[in-house]
Amino acid sequence: MVTTPLLLLLQVAHAQDPTVRVGGFVEGYYAWNLNQPTNHVTALRGFDDRHNSLTLSLASAHVAVVDDVARGTIALQTGTVPAALFATEPTGAGAFAATGARELSVVREAWGGATLARGVTLDAGVFLSPVGFDGAAAKDNRFWSLSNLGVGLPFYLTGVRVAAPLGENTTLTGGVFNGWNRIFDDNEGKTVGLWVDHQLPEGARLHALYIGGAEGAGDRPWRHTVDLWADLPVGPASLLIAGTAGQERREGGPARFAAAQLAVNVPVTESWGLGARGDVFYEVGSDDALGAIFWPTSLLGEVTVGATHQLAPGVIVRLEARHDRAVDPVFFADDPVSPTETQQTTFTLGLSSSFEAIARQALAEPQ
pLDDT in tens, 123-165: 999 999 999 999 999 999 999 999 999 998 999 999 999 999 9
Mean pLDDT of 186-201: 91
142, 240 Cβ separation under 8 angstroms: yes
42, 49 Cβ separation under 8 angstroms: yes
> Rounded distance, CA 165 to CA 360, Å?
27
The mean pLDDT of the chain is 87
Predicted confidence (pLDDT) at residue 1 exceeds the cutoff of 80: no
For the chain, the domain total comes to: 1
Q: What is the pLDDT of residue 349?
A: 99
Q: What is the pLDDT of residue 202?
A: 85
Structural domain harbouring 263 = 3-364
3-state secondary structure of 80: helix
> Rounded distance, CA 279 to CA 257, Å?
14
Q: What is the pLDDT of residue 170?
A: 97
Residue 308 — φ and ψ, nearest 5°? -120, 135
In the chain the first and final C-alpha atoms are separated, in Å, by 37
> Rounded distance, CA 279 to CA 16, Å?
48
Predicted confidence (pLDDT) at residue 346 exceeds the cutoff of 90: yes
Q: What is the pLDDT of residue 133?
A: 96
Predicted confidence (pLDDT) at residue 243 exceeds the cutoff of 70: yes
pLDDT in tens, 48-69: 999 999 999 999 999 998 888 8
The rounded percent of the chain whose pLDDT value lies above 90 is 68
Predicted confidence (pLDDT) at residue 362 exceeds the cutoff of 50: no
Q: What is the pLDDT of residue 47?
A: 92
10: left (phi over 0), alpha (psi -120 to 50) or beta: alpha
pLDDT in tens, 17-35: 678 889 999 999 999 999 9
- CATH number for the domain harbouring residue 191: 2.40.160.10
C-alpha dist (Å) from residue 268 to 271, 274, 290, 307: 8, 7, 46, 10
Of the ranges 11-15, 88-92, 255-259, 281-285, which one carries the lowest mean pLDDT score?
Answer: 11-15
pLDDT in tens, 288-309: 555 578 888 999 999 999 999 9
Of the ranges 40-54, 108-122, 274-288, which one carries the lowest mean pLDDT score?
Answer: 274-288
Residue 99 pLDDT class (50, 70, 90 cuts): low
